[in-house]
Amino acid sequence: MIKFFTSALLCFLVLTGVCQKANFKQAERFMKMDAKNLTGSTVVYPNYLKKSDKFWYSYRKADGTRYFFVDPKAKSQREMFDRDFMAAEISKVTHKPVNKSELPITGISFKEDQKTMKFMVDTFRFEYNIYTKQLVKIDSARKKPTPPAKPKRTGLFGAYSPDSTYIVYAKGHNLYMLRVKDSVETQLTTDGELKYSYAVSDSDTSTSRKSARVTWFENSERFYVRRTDRRKIKSLFIVNSLSQRPALNEYQYVMAGDENVQQEELYLFDTLNKKEIKVPVEKWKDQTIRLFTPGKKVESLYFLRKKRTCDEIDFCRVNPETGEVKVLFNEISKPYFNNEFFHLSLLNDGKDIIWWSERTGHGHFYLYDGEGNLKNAISSGAWTSGKMVKIDTVGRTIYFEGYGQVKGECPYFARINKARLDGNGQVEILTPEQATHEAAFSESGRYFVDNYSRVDLEPASVLRDNKGKKILDLASPDLTALYETGWRMPEPFTIKAADGVTDLYGYMWKPADFDSTKMYPIISYVYPGPQTEAIPLKFSVKSAYNTALSQVGFIVVTFGHRGGSPLRDKWYHTFGYNNLRDYPLADDKFGIEQLADRFSFIDKTKVGIFGHSGGGFMSTAAICTYPDFYTAAVSSAGNHDNNIYNQWWGETHHGIREIKSFEKKTVKDSVTGKDTTTTVEKVKFETRIPTNIELAKNLKGYLMLVTGDADNNVHPANTLRMADALLRAGKNFDLVILPGQSHGFSGMPQEFYQRKMWFHFAKYLLGDFSSDQFREIDAFMRL
């Protein structure tokens, strides 16, 4: 009956002219294209010489890999050697054929003279002067001189004190200290146990020596240990169906709103007195802590503690002798702190503190003194300061990424910036091009290699000084072979959010054989954030699944939604708070409508949507929320029920309520022995996140759910609960289980998933059911 209906539907579509032929062959070709071979290198990775601004790099093009040496001060770039000469000389030594395009050299380094290159071929060592062009083979039998043994190190297992007097390790989850000179072992703790351990691996059941969570202070008189209590955390289970005997895999997993979460503690140990001090880090129930020490030599200790509600932080200093805690400063950021860009640096032995904050609605850096007093803003303005790239402590200067600094431009591209610690917010942009810039600084900070691109801009690599002046153009890719395949760059666009005011930015992919006189279904590739969006920020040939999917015969788009990227302001990326399921949906629908009105080749009666993880969650929510707008959806690894997804995602981005109550408790007075009544405060947390399961009854279109059965991030139960809700609602849908696949699909299962997506959208957006004839992949591949 089902086959008869499918055949009848296919005939009807063909007869009525609705059916369009899917170009699976072209999609397959673009999916299988070897992007690396078509583009060669696209980025320069500098290998800086020790204590020098000079560097070398390798770069692959159509004629093979070449090696370059750059002297920034001399503003010079040269090939390190003639490849014909090098291939011939290597062949003389190894007696093997050598391909000059891909020389088999490894382990490149330079001697202190900064002229002599050292490298290996097989077991042979060579030295080559890049200026005199003299190549010398070093005797392969000669062994490197054995360095003198480090004094006082005995090779015993454990964390050595800086002066090598003591070693600390864990055994049976407790701490032990061994005095090196006489091997006297002292047990320091007795309360360690499984999942409440002093060992790095807190679930190990053996009694042998294990690494401990130990960090020594420089004076070797004390060390600190961070300890986590995970005893009450509940487990999740997945079945490895592909093992010889299907096996149950257990792992601990904290869900949003769980009563029991991990508890974190901090201890100081005095080696002279064998004394243990529990540092009083506790302030808020179920808080998290993060430790900091200034410099490589640990002489002081600091920590951050954050409330479970994610909206308040203390930054504290610990007295390493007494364990006393001093709050240096406190900050409240509602509805939550931005985890993606939050940054703290301790400089000059803790005398300067760099702190990142969204206190003005835009993320920026601030300078505090060592006692927690605000000195000044380091950066400021209606834009976002992002990832720290380099800190020059001597010059009191920082280099960092900035977003949205030029009005009217897409705000997602990172420019490299420079600011003085004491500059009161004055910032200098070092990279003027509108693109995603990635900087690799020399040790001195005088120069940096700037690799930049956009998904619609070919990659470029240049050398700049620390004032942003371009010194040299470095190697760049030759994309001729890529363009000859018919590949085309995606096209940028700007639309409005559903509020009619907020600008949203995105890209559009078209088929290689695009014809503007035809009409194409449109498919939206989504990821709702809030920690990132699906918009590609750098040059990419395949752009996830978008390039190949468009070749089937679609217009594929991706664009931001309010509540998405933290690259924009605080209002934008927190828009979805307390509305974790629904916040991006209206923007996606309204954006597609605008594009259909703007471009005559888009058919707004045939709309698809797909995504992975959060995008799988969003695509299902969209087709069930707007069932008369979206025709088809593919949702892979979706967290359809965020109440069984991980704690940080749901509690941070949807919110959790802190509920306080008071109860009277009778206790016996230790002095008088009499019963006394006291009032005790109790705190608990609650959250309830809307789910896709609640929307199952609305489905009208064609939904395909996909999950790996070994996904220990978004548990398969998310997808199976959604499937169960659809079954109970009497809905027809497709369910695909990928055996052995975790959260990120790979290998043949990933290719199978991609093709299933093509087939799904071809059927329900193009009316092409021809994929039903492919009972074997080989038959499909022979198209």
3-state SS of 352-406?
EEEEEECCCCCCEEEEEECCCCEEEECCCCCCEEEEEEEEECCCCEEEEEEECCC
Q: What are phi and psi of 588, to 5 degrees?
A: -65, -45
What is the identity of the amino acid at 56?
W
Judgement on whether residues 102 and 183 belong to the same structural domain of the protein: no
Grouping H, G, I as helix, E, B as strand and the rest as coil, residue 441 is strand
Distances (CA, A) of 259 to 216, 522, 578, 658: 34, 44, 20, 12
Distances (CA, A) of 154 to 145, 188, 199, 223, 421: 21, 22, 22, 20, 44
Judgement on whether residues 130 and 203 belong to the same structural domain of the protein: no
Name the domain count of the chain: 3
Identify the pLDDT of residue 5: 46
Identify the pLDDT of residue 783: 58
What is the overall mean pLDDT for the chain?
A: 93
Q: Report the alpha-carbon distance of residue 622 to residue 276 in Å, rounded.
A: 56
Judgement on whether residues 236 and 97 belong to the same structural domain of the protein: no
Identify the pLDDT of residue 239: 95
Identify the pLDDT of residue 148: 53
Judgement on whether residues 299 and 184 belong to the same structural domain of the protein: yes
Q: What are phi and psi of 512, to 5 degrees?
A: -60, -30
Instruction: For residue 71, give its domain range.
Output: 47-138
Query: Which three-class secondary structure string do you get for 41-71?
Result: CCCCCCEECCCCCCEEEEEEECCEEEEEEEE
| Bridge partner residues of 503 (DSSP) | 496
Identify the pLDDT of residue 145: 54
Q: Report the alpha-carbon distance of residue 129 to residue 109 in Å, rounded.
A: 12
Q: Report the alpha-carbon distance of residue 724 to residue 717 in Å, rounded.
A: 10
The one-character DSSP state at 88 is H
The one-character DSSP state at 32 is H
What is the identity of the amino acid at 686?
E
Judgement on whether residues 176 and 126 belong to the same structural domain of the protein: no
Judgement on whether residues 230 and 184 belong to the same structural domain of the protein: yes
Paired tokens of 757: 């997506």
Grouping H, G, I as helix, E, B as strand and the rest as coil, residue 97 is coil
Identify the pLDDT of residue 7: 44
Ranges of residues in the chain whose predicted pLDDT is under 50: 1-17, 141-142, 149-153
Any domain includes 504: yes
56 within 8 A of 546, measured Cβ to Cβ: no
Q: Which of 107, 138, 169 is the last residue of a domain?
A: 138
Any domain includes 418: no
Non-local CB neighbours of 550 within 8 Å, separated by 6+ positions: 509, 510, 511, 556
| Bridge partner residues of 611 (DSSP) | 635
Q: Report the alpha-carbon distance of residue 191 to residue 61 in Å, rounded.
A: 61
Any domain includes 260: yes
Tell me the CATH number at 707: 3.40.50.1820
Identify the pLDDT of residue 13: 46
Any domain includes 424: no
Judgement on whether residues 112 and 167 belong to the same structural domain of the protein: no
Any domain includes 755: yes
Grouping H, G, I as helix, E, B as strand and the rest as coil, residue 526 is coil
Non-local CB neighbours of 407 within 8 Å, separated by 6+ positions: none
Judgement on whether residues 114 and 248 belong to the same structural domain of the protein: no
Identify the pLDDT of residue 129: 97
Identify the pLDDT of residue 722: 98
* Residues 51-59: contacts with CB under 8 Å, at least 24 apart: 51/443, 52/114, 52/442, 52/443, 53/442, 53/443, 53/444, 53/446, 53/447, 54/114, 55/442, 55/449, 56/80, 56/108, 56/110, 56/117, 57/474, 57/475, 59/475
Identify the pLDDT of residue 664: 77
Judgement on whether residues 116 and 182 belong to the same structural domain of the protein: no
Identify the pLDDT of residue 152: 47
Any domain includes 369: no
Q: Which of 138, 173, 206 is the last residue of a domain?
A: 138
Judgement on whether residues 238 and 306 belong to the same structural domain of the protein: yes
Judgement on whether residues 248 and 181 belong to the same structural domain of the protein: yes
Q: Report the alpha-carbon distance of residue 636 to residue 626 in Å, rounded.
A: 19
Judgement on whether residues 75 and 189 belong to the same structural domain of the protein: no
What's the sign of the alpha-carbon dihedral 323, 349, 364, 436? negative
Any domain includes 664: no
Identify the pLDDT of residue 423: 86
pLDDT single digits (tens) 517-545: 999 999 999 999 999 999 999 999 999 99
Grouping H, G, I as helix, E, B as strand and the rest as coil, residue 699 is coil
Any domain includes 449: no
Q: Which of 337, 367, 389 is the last residue of a domain?
A: 337
Tell me the CATH number at 312: 2.140.10.30
pTM: 0.92
Paired tokens of 779: 């038959």
Distances (CA, A) of 313 to 200, 310, 337: 26, 8, 9
- Quick one: CA torsion of 559, 565, 570, 574, rounded to 10 degrees? 90
